[in-house]
Amino acid sequence: MPIGELLVRATAWLGLLGWAAAEWMKATPAARAARAAFTAGGLVMLAHTALALHVRYGWSHEAAALETARQTRAVTGLAFDHGLLVNEVFLVVWLVEALWWWRDARGYRARGRALEWAARAFFFMMFASGAFVFVPGPMRVLGLTALVAVLAAWYRAAKGEPPEVAHG
C-alpha cells in the first residue's frame, strides 16, 4: 500500500480513537485528558481530510463528492449526493466543540442535554458511516469495537458509573 493511502487510513482510525477515548474519559477525573484526546482527534481528522483530498482526489472537491456518493450508494443502496458536505459540517462542528471546551470548559460541561446528545448522535453517525461505508469488510470490526466502547461509556456515565481511568 502506498504511504499516502496508509496515511489516509491511519488518520481516519486515529480520529475515531481520539473521539472514543474522549467519550470514555469525559465523565472521569481525567476530563482534561478527554479534552486533549478530543482535540487531537479533531486535528487528525482535519489531516485525514486534507490527505484524502490530496492522495485520492488530486484536490478535486467534485471528484471527492462523486466518489463519496458512489461508495455510499454501493454499500447502503441509498443515493445521497451530499455526503462530502456532511463531512465538512462534521469537521466544523468538531472544531466548534473543541474551541468551546477549551475556552469555557465549565460552560461546555454545563450545556443542555439536548445539545450534548445532538452532538453525540452526530459524531456517532459520522463514525458509524465511516466505519461501515468506507472500510473494507474485516476492518469494520475495529470500527464496531470503538463504537461499542463509546456506547458502553455513555451507558455507564448515565448510570453514574463512569469507566475506570488510570491516574498518573
- Residue 148, domain extent: 3-158
Taking only the tens place, the pLDDT of each residue in 95-127 is: 999 999 999 999 998 999 999 999 999 999 999
Angstrom distance (rounded) from CA 148 to CA 151: 5
Query: How many domains, in total, are found in the chain?
Result: 1
In a domain, 49, yes or no: yes
CB under 8 Å to 51, separation ≥6 — which residues?
A: 4, 7, 8, 11
Residue 125 resides in a domain = yes
For residue 72, name the pLDDT band (cuts at 50, 70, 90): confident
Query: Is 166 part of a structural domain of the chain?
Result: no
In a domain, 96, yes or no: yes
Single-letter code of the amino acid located at 168:
G
Whether residue 165 is contained in a domain is answered as no
Inside any domain, residue 79: yes
Displacement of CA 35 from its chain's centroid (Å): 14
Q: 71 CB contacts (<8 Å, ≥6 apart)?
A: 133, 134
Helix (H, G, I), strand (E, B) or coil at 51: helix
* Average confidence (pLDDT) over 39-59: 97
Please determine, for residue 61, whether its predicted confidence score (pLDDT) is greater than 70: yes
- Whether residue 163 lies inside any domain: the answer is no
DSSP annotation of 28 reads S
